[in-house]
Structure 1
Amino acid sequence: MDPSLAFFAPEGDTLVPTSMAQSMWSSDQMHGVAVSGALGRALERAVTALGRDDLQPTRYTVDLFRAARMQPCEVSTQVVREGSRICLVDATMTQSGERVARASAVFLKPTASTGGEVWGPDERPAPPPHDVAPPTDEPHVPYFHSEVGWTQDFGQHQNGSRKQSWNSAIPVVAGEAITPFQAAAAIADGASLVTNWGSHGVEYINTDITLTLVRPPVGVEIGLSAVDRVEQDGISVGTAAMFDRSGPLGTCVVTALANARRVVDMGGISYDDDGTRRTTS
């Protein structure tokens, strides 16, 4: 893997966004995948610093209340509560002293499950077949699924049908191996894409992310499948299931606002695995 392929380059305690962090909404704006990945990294490192390797992340919430620019940023954390079976941590991202995003996470200590029967769905989303997307831990252009099946051709999926994605996570910080939780935290922002991408492109921009996990992902390959979407008066709430090659992981919920003046048209866009963006006719 190219060691420079990451969303941020470290400069001491500062994270400097690379071109991989650039949003399609604006050339001076970071996308939520990078912002969420950086916040998730900080929260995980805070729990590691406590020596709590008995805990695992189970709920992660991000508020994207201001556009994060393509400028250096700092992420600070605060342990809100630490107990024998639970730890709550907050994180804040700042740029030039101004807060641009915040996150909170709940880490819990796993125990034995109970024996009672509880309802669960019979059908779960599945990754693309191995002959379409061979297993790998190398970053690649996401695969999408809609009425046309699994492909990496974005234009084929600009339609009104239900969508899924299959992703191999990009490292958050150059020179650091991405962890499974960092991968989940970053990819969770993609719930907005699978729930808000329609026949005219992406017309909604998400203001938050809530990720729930029953276990960490196995590796850094993670899928999202649209489960539900409700919309009224320019506000939408999208829900996606998160899964990996071993089965279901949890859910992602995003709240989004209509952004009709700056629609992201995915129909003429393609990417190489190194992040190079190409425009097709």
Structure 2
Amino acid sequence: MSDAYFARQGTLFAPLPDARGSWSHDSIHGVAVCGLLGHAAEQALVGHGRAEDLVPARFAVELFAPPRYADCTVSTRVVRDGPRICLLDVELTQDGRPVARASATFVRASESAPGEVWSPTDRPTAPSTDVAPVSDVPQMPFVRSGEGPWTQEFASHQNGERHSYFHVCHPVVDGSPLTAFEAAASSADGVNMTTNWGSRGVEYINTDATLSMTRLPVGVEVGLRTLDRTEHAGVAAGAAAVFDREGQFGVVVCSSIANARRTVDMATLEDDTV
């Protein structure tokens, strides 16, 4: 059985079992949605003839309606095409109804400016290869609480500490090799789990995810570590560092709303859909 999130059927993308969501059995989880939107954006860039001279800088997703576990259609539009930038819009629909959209910004890389600018020295690092051997096969993510050990035992990380996780990304579309950009795009939705996972599970659902990146990940292993979180009256804002085996390559932020009546209990997680 394929471990991809979708199977392409003509102009439609049919969800596969690994795309099924945790909030509802009749839903597609946000990682799969972000991955499909990223896949469409990258394919549009290729079709527009700009894939060779531009690199991704920003991928922003809005998740404004619950996607059902049903066929999806994606459409793309070039918003701006200039010498140093290309901006694409992507929309995901089901039965003619929009459920999510994204904007992707691709820019021309050059050289770093000579001036000195502050940046933190406390950068996230991937688990050692002794704990998590290098792999391109999707599996249960490795999770870390605070500065403790990396493990795949989710129940031991159901706490109020700072969370990190590291995983091998799933292919987005069956029969289509996973690209580095698709790996980064699908991982963006992991900001909700990383920043909102607490002692009772994940009690917030994100309405968006915005990934800013300075390079593509090396390989298809991507990790996130919480940088900041604030919450008032059921509205939360979270930020996470995004990294791979080589180090940090971006930051992702999200807005979330309380969803305590349908909490995802991470301690009972038995698959690798996050």
CA positional deviation for 1:182:
0.3
TM-score of the superposed pair, with normalisation by structure 1: 0.95
CA positional deviation for 1:269:
2.3
Cross-structure match for 2:111: 112
1:50-199 to structure 2, matched below 5 A, reads 50-52=48-50, 53-147=52-146, 148-199=148-199
Give the letter aligned to residue 60 of structure 2: T
Cross-structure match for 1:40: 38
1:226-241 to structure 2, matched below 5 A, reads 226-241=226-241
Query: Within 2, Cα distance between the matches of 1:270 and 1:154?
Result: 9
Cross-structure match for 1:249: 249
Query: Within 2, Cα distance between the matches of 1:111 and 1:246?
Result: 20
Query: Within 2, Cα distance between the matches of 1:233 and 1:149?
Result: 33
Query: Within 1, Cα distance between the matches of 2:65 and 2:128?
Result: 39
Work out which of the residue numbers 20, 23, 35 in structure 2 matches 1:22: 20
Between 188-197 and 140-149, report the one with greater CA deviation: 140-149
1:213-224 to structure 2, matched below 5 A, reads 213-224=213-224
Give the letter aligned to residue 61 of structure 1: A
CA positional deviation for 1:247:
1.3
Query: Within 1, Cα distance between the matches of 2:138 and 2:233?
Result: 37
SS in 2 for 1:155: helix
CA positional deviation for 1:270:
2.2
SS in 1 for 2:189: helix
Q: Is the 8 A contact 1:62 1:208 kept in 2?
A: yes
Q: After superposition, what is the alpha-carbon deviation per residue over 1:160-203, rounded to whole angstroms, capped at 9, x for unaligned?
A: 00000001110000111010000000011011101000001110
Q: Is the 8 A contact 1:153 1:270 kept in 2?
A: no
CA positional deviation for 1:113:
1.1
User: Given the alignment of the two structures, is residue 205 of structure 1 paired with residue 205 of structure 2, yes or no?
Assistant: yes
Q: After superposition, what is the alpha-carbon deviation per residue over 1:131-162, rounded to whole angstroms, capped at 9, x for unaligned?
A: 10011111111110004421111111100000
CA positional deviation for 1:216:
0.6
Give the letter aligned to residue 111 of structure 1: S
SS in 2 for 1:42: helix
In the alignment of these two chains, the number of paired residues is 272
CA positional deviation for 1:122:
1.2
Query: Within 2, Cα distance between the matches of 1:23 and 1:158?
Result: 19
CA positional deviation for 1:81:
0.6
SS in 2 for 1:150: coil
CA positional deviation for 1:268:
2.1
Query: Within 1, Cα distance between the matches of 2:12 and 2:268?
Result: 35
Structure 2: runs of 5 or more not aligned: none
Query: Within 1, Cα distance between the matches of 2:268 and 2:32?
Result: 23
Give the letter aligned to residue 269 of structure 2: I
Query: Within 1, Cα distance between the matches of 2:37 and 2:244?
Result: 22
Query: Within 2, Cα distance between the matches of 1:61 and 1:262?
Result: 25
CA positional deviation for 1:50:
1.4
* Runs of 4+, deviation exceeding 4 Å: none
Work out which of the residue numbers 11, 14, 27 in structure 2 matches 1:13: 11
Q: After superposition, what is the alpha-carbon deviation per residue over 1:226-256, rounded to whole angstroms, capped at 9, x for unaligned?
A: 0000000100001000011111111000110
Give the letter aligned to residue 262 of structure 2: R
Query: Within 2, Cα distance between the matches of 1:62 and 1:268?
Result: 28
SS in 1 for 2:150: strand
Structure 1: runs of 5 or more not aligned: none
Query: Within 2, Cα distance between the matches of 1:269 and 1:81?
Result: 42
